[in-house]
Amino acid sequence: MDKHNLGVNTICTHVGEVEDTQFKGGVSPIFLASSYAFMDVNVKRYPRYFNTPNQDHLCRKIAALEQAESAMIFGSGMAAISTTLLAFLKAGDHIVLQNDIYGGTRNFIETQCDNYSIEYTFTKDLSLEDFDSCIKSNTKIIYIETPSNPLLKLVDIEAVSNLAKSKGVLTVIDNTFATPINQQPITLGIDIVIHSATKYFGGHSDICAGAVAASQQHIDAIWQLGINLGGNLSDFTVWMLERSMKTLALRVKAQQRNAKRLAKFLQAHSSIENVNYPGLKSHPNYNLAKRQMNGFGAMLSFEFKSHINVKGFLSSLELIKPSMSLAGVESTMLLPAETSHALLTSEERRNQGITNRLIRFSLGIECKKDLINDIEQAIAKQIL
Ligand SMILES: *Cc1c(COP(=O)(O)O)cnc(C)c1O
């Protein structure tokens, strides 16, 4: 059997299992030791060295899903992002970032880069020309996130990675929204792929974790800084994450079926101004989405017309939870202006097109008719 060419559900289920050699149990045992032997061993293990048995094995599953040589797991998505960026940026370097990236990443850049004498530029839009014009002689990294949060805009991954290669610049992508089920950026030329594993990898809104996948050489560089910053994930949570990831492909596919159906329902609704979903033909990047993604994902956003009381709508929902975070098996909605993008100034929000009437919708696995009924009843109560 060719173990290098497994299907995605098989990778999710089997790759990276820890074998229970002692009792022959059918699932990975948890190794919680924070103290391992140093004599007569091949690897000197320690949780903060990211190399306990559970960490080591789960990394293989993540690397296989992303078609990467290697991977690392972190205590949060932000630990993965900050450790990766600081591993490659030194004083005097410059980084180009896509304009509408995750609010926490933007906050990290804007509050920390000055302290390390690292220069940064945010693109104005997502065109290749704009990325090109931001590159300077000291540019070290181009950082993208596609589809973006919360407007679901797409960047042409292959075009950006080709541009970066031609200038000797490293590329980093936040692949959280797409997941490797829908998008494998390394196959499109990207160097380093990052995930907030808090989202689809965990999938049940009960884990906070992060992951990075890349070549062994790049992972080694991230590891060198990682052991100093100490952002590893506890082995109990690593084990929970492995358990969750067995159903990653099943969940994402069920969630994006719901997303496509709900996007069409919302688009046809008289109280809704517009819907952002890459799987709609009206989406400006629909063709790009078809080219670089295997599926359109399970996140969408929509804007209410002014005759709807938006906060009243959220409070009237009976099934869909208005809550922070995303990607769980349960559907959730939030107001980006008050949560994920609250740290931005209102001018930054306006520049990005994030209004107070915009709702981000993370689709779960519920029956679509129940989601539609819930939205209908909540809208009916809030027509001003
Ligand atoms: C949540 C999120 C992050 C940050 O991850 P944490 O696990 O909360 O640290 C980064 N990028 C995206 C796209 C996210 O949604």
Residues carrying CATH 3.90.1150.10, the chain: 249-380
Each residue of 127-154: pLDDT tens digit? 999 999 999 999 999 999 999 999 999 9
Task: Assign 359 to helix, strand or coil.
Answer: strand
- What span, in angstroms and rounded, lies between the C-alpha atoms of 327 and 318? 19
Cα(293) to centroid(ligand 1), Å: 20
Burial 6-33 (b: 16+ CB within 10 A, else e): eebeebbbebbbbeeeeeeeeebebbee
Residue 344 has pLDDT above 90, yes or no: no
* CA-based nearest residue to 82, from 180, 212, 191: 212
DSSP state at residue 285? T
- What span, in angstroms and rounded, lies between the C-alpha atoms of 47 and 57? 13
The verdict on the CB of residue 382 being under 6 Å from ligand 1 is: no
CATH T-level topology, domain 3-245:
Aspartate Aminotransferase; domain 2 (3.40.640)
The atom number, within ligand 1, closest to the CA of 197 reads: 7
Residue 2 has pLDDT above 80, yes or no: no
Is the domain spanning 249-380 CATH 3.90.1150.10? The answer is yes
Residue 4 has pLDDT above 90, yes or no: no
Tokens of 346: 């209102």
The verdict on the CB of residue 196 being under 6 Å from ligand 1 is: yes
Each residue of 41-73: pLDDT tens digit? 999 999 999 999 999 999 999 999 999 999 999
Predicted confidence at residue 142, as pLDDT, reads 98
Question: How many other CB atoms sit within 10 Å of the CB of residue 271?
Answer: 18
Residue 3 has pLDDT above 80, yes or no: no
Tokens of 253: 């596919």
- What span, in angstroms and rounded, lies between the C-alpha atoms of 355 and 336? 8
Predicted confidence at residue 352, as pLDDT, reads 79
Residue 173 has pLDDT above 80, yes or no: yes
β-sheet bridge partners, residue 212: 72, 194
Residue 345 has pLDDT above 90, yes or no: no
The verdict on the CB of residue 333 being under 6 Å from ligand 1 is: no
Predicted confidence at residue 81, as pLDDT, reads 98
The verdict on the CB of residue 189 being under 6 Å from ligand 1 is: no
Residue 114 has pLDDT above 90, yes or no: yes
The atom number, within ligand 1, closest to the CA of 208 reads: 7
